[in-house]
């Protein structure tokens, strides 16, 4: 990272690989052959920036987008124009009526009451979400008939449900949810169906429906935490080394002196910390890279700084040199942090300058 004049830039950047997102979208189309691939861009496209990411997915072929709430929907509408439908997962709330109208959003209706309010009010296109076993959002199966009767006034565009255990292909709940959903399908003949998130896309066809709803796969995280991701990571942090120091054998590093040198080591201090979304827990097993060389975190992650043991990088480790995090190590970094790529991506802080390539 340098200025045009060659000066090193002392700020961390988040490099978002839009080409990788496009390829991941195409990959999902191939994997779910013939099924329409929608794009889940909630939480600012999993932290990567919905305003930049959504148009790329539109050009890749996505015509249906999912966001969590109406304010996210308004951002996506500005980004994609009028050629796509934007579904709001958190339901219909009359307080959102204006933003929904202004941005032509379609609520994902989760309760009979919401359906009544929607049909008595805006009454535009909507999706109906049924809870088939996750006990999270969605109409309970016991209200299928009641809700189908209310929906007779205006059919939904889409009926959907969400898997609790799609990342565990052998889990019995997957088959149970598919079977319960077939009763929903029977109650809404001719209405398009949607079941699968990213992990569901890796299950067989019965788990897909007419439209799949991948999120994490688009950004390259592993849908199954126990397996290597078949998708390309779209997020790499680049940050410069601010200072190099020599740690004598027995010396310690960082708050609490939790790390100590078992031999003479070279340490690098980089401009990145938990204020940028790096987890404090990442000190056990988290690493960055200088070129291809892995450089492990040494001691506690602090707010704005991380100390790395860069001994293995030799002369390449010098002030101003770029250290990369995430990228192909996204899932490994998440595992070292005791979490998933989902949480790593959505916590990436606002201080990281988003750079789109």
Ligand X SMILES: *Cc1c(COP(=O)(O)O)cnc(C)c1O
- Residues engaged in binding ligand X (CB under 6 A): 40, 42, 89, 162, 197-199, 213-217
Pairing state between β 235-247 and 322-326: antiparallel
State in angstroms the smallest separation of the CB of 135 from ligand X. 13
Indicate the residue among 118 and 219 with the shorter CB distance to ligand X.
219
Indicate the residue among 115 and 295 with the shorter CB distance to ligand X.
115
| Catalytic one of 11, 25, 92, 255 | 255
State in angstroms the smallest separation of the CB of 286 from ligand X. 23
134 among annotated binding-site residues: no
State in angstroms the smallest separation of the CB of 343 from ligand X. 11
> Which residue's entry shows tokens 């805006």?
122
State in angstroms the smallest separation of the CB of 136 from ligand X. 8
Indicate the residue among 67 and 237 with the shorter CB distance to ligand X.
67
77 among annotated binding-site residues: no
Burial 113-129 (b: 16+ CB within 10 A, else e): ebbebbbeebeebbbbb
255 classed as catalytic: yes
Indicate the residue among 139 and 199 with the shorter CB distance to ligand X.
199
- Nearest residue to 141 via CA among 156, 124, 125, 159: 159
Tell me how far apart the alpha carbons of residues 152 and 192 are, in angstroms, rounded to a whole number. 15
Tell me the CA end-to-end span of the chain in Å, nearest whole number. Answer: 14
How many residues are present in the chain?
Answer: 357
| Catalytic one of 42, 46, 219, 287 | 42
- Are 151 and 128 contacting, i.e. CB atoms less than 8 angstroms apart? yes
Pairing state between β 64-67 and 85-88: parallel
Q: Quick one: CA dihedral 195, 201, 206, 209, positive or negative?
A: positive
25 classed as catalytic: no
Residues annotated as catalytic are: 42, 255
Query: Residues at the annotated binding site for substrate?
Result: 136, 303
Query: Residues at the annotated binding site?
Result: 136, 303
């Amino acid at each position: 990272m340098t200025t045009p004049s060659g000066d090193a830039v002392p700020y961390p950047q988040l490099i978002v690989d839009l080409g990788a997102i496009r390829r991941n979208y195409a990959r999902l189309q191939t994997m779910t052959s013939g099924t329409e691939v929608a794009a889940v861009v909630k939480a600012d496209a999993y932290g990567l920036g919905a305003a930049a990411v959504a148009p790329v997915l539109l050009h890749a072929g996505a015509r249906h987008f999912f966001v969590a709430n109406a304010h996210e929907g308004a951002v996506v509408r500005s980004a994609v124009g009028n050629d796509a439908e934007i579904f709001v997962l958190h339901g219909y709330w009359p307080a959102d009526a204006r933003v929904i109208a202004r941005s032509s959003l379609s609520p994902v209706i989760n309760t009979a009451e919401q359906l009544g309010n929607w049909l008595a009010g805006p009454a535009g296109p909507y999706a109906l979400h049924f809870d088939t076993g996750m006990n999270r959002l969605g109409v309970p199966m016991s209200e299928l008939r009641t809700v189908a009767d209310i929906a007779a006034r205006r059919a939904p565009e889409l009926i959907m449900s969400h898997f609790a255990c799609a990342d565990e292909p052998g889990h019995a709940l997957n088959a149970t949810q598919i079977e319960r959903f077939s009763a929903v399908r029977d109650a809404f003949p001719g209405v398009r169906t949607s079941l699968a998130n990213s992990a569901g896309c890796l299950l067989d066809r019965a788990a897909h429906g007419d439209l799949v709803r991948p999120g994490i796969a688009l950004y390259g995280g592993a849908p199954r935490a126990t397996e290597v991701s078949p998708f390309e990571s779209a997020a790499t942090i680049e940050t410069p080394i601010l200072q190099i120091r020599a740690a004598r054998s027995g010396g310690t590093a960082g708050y609490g002196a939790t790390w100590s040198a078992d031999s003479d080591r070279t340490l690098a201090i980089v401009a990145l910390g938990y204020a940028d979304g790096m987890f404090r827990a990442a000190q056990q097993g988290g690493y960055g890279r200088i070129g291809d060389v892995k450089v492990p975190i040494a001691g506690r992650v602090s707010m704005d700084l991380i100390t790395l043991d860069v001994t293995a990088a030799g002369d390449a480790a010098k002030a101003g040199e770029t250290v990369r995090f995430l990228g192909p190590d996204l899932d490994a970094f998440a595992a070292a942090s005791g979490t998933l790529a989902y949480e790593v991506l959505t916590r990436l802080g606002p201080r990281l300058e988003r750079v789109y390539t």
